[in-house]
């Protein structure tokens, strides 16, 4: 049996990789993961959230595209030293990841 995170992914309509990206983004924005800090490995995240490594890779790729994380080959994945200028967006104006509370606020 896998150990799962208290913020388990739901079986809703949002893809699991997008849900995981939202959770990780929230942890970065809240300071749980700090700038320059190494985050958990793909294997650790997959086990914690009970998802495949492919799902984790997709979530991490989205966060990298948004400018929240960087990957250093052989060293791991790190929170970007400088976060995107606006909450939830990268300089390229990528889509905003939001959770339920943010969805209510933004409506």
For residues 65 and 38, give the distance between their C-alpha atoms in angstroms, rounded to a whole number: 17
71 pLDDT above the threshold of 80: yes
Residue-level pLDDT at 13: 75
pLDDT value of position 84: 84
Q: What is the pLDDT of residues 21-39, one digit of tens each?
A: 999 999 999 999 999 999 9
| For residue 12, pLDDT beyond 80 | no
Q: How far is CA 79 from CA 15, 35, 37, in A?
A: 23, 5, 6
Tell me which residue of 42, 20, 40 sits closest to 32, measured CA to CA.
Answer: 40
Mean pLDDT of the chain: 79
């Amino acid at each position: 049996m896998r150990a799962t995170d208290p913020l388990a992914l739901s079986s809703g309509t949002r893809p699991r990789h997008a849900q995981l990206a939202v959770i990780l983004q929230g942890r970065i924005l809240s300071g749980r993961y700090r700038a320059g800090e190494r985050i958990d490995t793909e294997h650790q995240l997959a086990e914690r959230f009970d998802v495949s490594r492919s799902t984790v890779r997709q979530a991490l790729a989205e966060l990298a595209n948004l400018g929240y994380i960087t990957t250093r080959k052989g060293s791991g994945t790190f929170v970007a030293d400088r976060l995107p200028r606006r909450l939830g967006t990268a300089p390229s104006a990528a889509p905003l990841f939001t959770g339920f509370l943010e969805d209510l606020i933004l409506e």
